[in-house]
Amino acid sequence: MATPLRFRYWHGAWTADRVRRDLYEELDDNLGATASAPWFAPPDGYEARRFDMDDGSLALFAWTADDEGPAGTDGGPGGYWVGNTETPSTLWRTDKYGFGESPAPITAWAERELTAVLHDAEPWLEAYPTLSWYFLPVLCSKDGAATTRRFFREADAGFPDTTREAALGFYESFLERGVLDDTREEMAAKLGTSEVFDRTRMTATMGEFDAAWLLDRAGYDVTPEIEVSTDHVIDYRAERDERGDTRRGDTPRPAQTAERRHTDASAPGDGPDESRRPTVCPRRRCRPVDRLFVVPRRRLAPSLRGTT
């Protein structure tokens, strides 16, 4: 299984001639490639090229004479490569950095370009801009693009007995809250970057998002992927200030690329009874929830039936 989409960073000077010699010519010899200006202009202080391969894969490369560099680097002149194609040999020994570890201007530009590519290929995803942004590292990954797009397009994100619009509308509405933004790349990667379509595993992954929705709705602040002393990792730590609801408010989202055309698929009801803390087993006295509880996915499906 490959990793989600990340930047490769080369610390050093680049020119247009070097980009053509060290990157484009090798791609063209191996795969057949077309070099062009990107669809969107790079940030001030950067130059950029887009490479479209004959097999349908693509890559972006941007370079600058000076910036802050990715987290943990000294900055200065450097180049950023991101794509779902083979990596030119010049960049083989470069370090990889996630979108959240790279300078904000170059990340925003690359995400805008890749999102436009995604929506051009899968126009039905335009109605779900936050979901597109959140899962972009796998929806545009080298090995997982086809399977993750198919999972959302044909398998209704794993929900049984509902429509694609209702299921994706539910996740769009939840992800807009920003509850899991800080661990976006880690959580998105769980959906998979494999060429093999495994609906069962992918559905189980989305069950973690269902659990986060329930905890957030109950007023808990959730922290994913908690390491414990036994070297295991639990899915969430759930905490709540007993003095009041600590649910997060609105979080700035990426620019909306299309008007939302779906109905809010939040589950109906009057909300949780804030006077009671939810427990793992409500029929007997138990410890309050402070760990992940697994939510059977069929329990959520009825709340989506009939929504459009």
Residue 293: the pLDDT is 37
How would you class 155 by CB atoms within 10 Å of its CB: exposed for 0-12, middle for 13-18, buried for 19 or more?
Answer: middle
Q: Does residue 230 carry a pLDDT above 90? A: no
Number of domains in the chain: 2
User: Hey, what are 161's tokens?
Assistant: 């007995």
Same domain for 107 and 162, yes or no, is: no
Q: Per-residue pLDDT tens for 145-159?
A: 999 999 999 999 999
pLDDT bracket for residue 240 (50, 70, 90): confident
Residue 259 lies in a domain: yes
Residue 225: the pLDDT is 67
How would you class 59 by CB atoms within 10 Å of its CB: exposed for 0-12, middle for 13-18, buried for 19 or more?
Answer: buried
Same domain for 168 and 261, yes or no, is: yes
Within 10 angstroms of residue 10's Cβ, the number of other Cβ atoms is 19
Query: Measured in Å, how far apart are the chain's first and last C-alpha atoms?
Result: 35
Q: Does residue 131 carry a pLDDT above 70? A: yes
User: Hey, what are 257's tokens?
Assistant: 């690329």
DSSP assignment of 144-183: THHHHHHHHHHSGGG-SSS-HHHHHHHHHHHHTTTTTGGG
Same domain for 99 and 158, yes or no, is: no
pTM assigned to the model? 0.76
Residue 135 lies in a domain: no
Residue 138 lies in a domain: no
Give the mean model confidence (pLDDT) for residues 18-30. 98
Domain end, chosen from 121, 139, 171, is at 121
Instruction: Find the domain containing 63 and state its range.
Output: 7-121
User: Hey, what are 230's tokens?
Assistant: 């036994």
Same domain for 117 and 160, yes or no, is: no
Tell me which residue of 75, 24, 76, 84 sits closest to 48, measured CA to CA: 24
Q: Per-residue pLDDT tens for 47-92?
A: 999 999 999 999 999 999 999 999 999 999 999 999 999 999 999 9
Same domain for 166 and 112, yes or no, is: no
Residue 126 lies in a domain: no
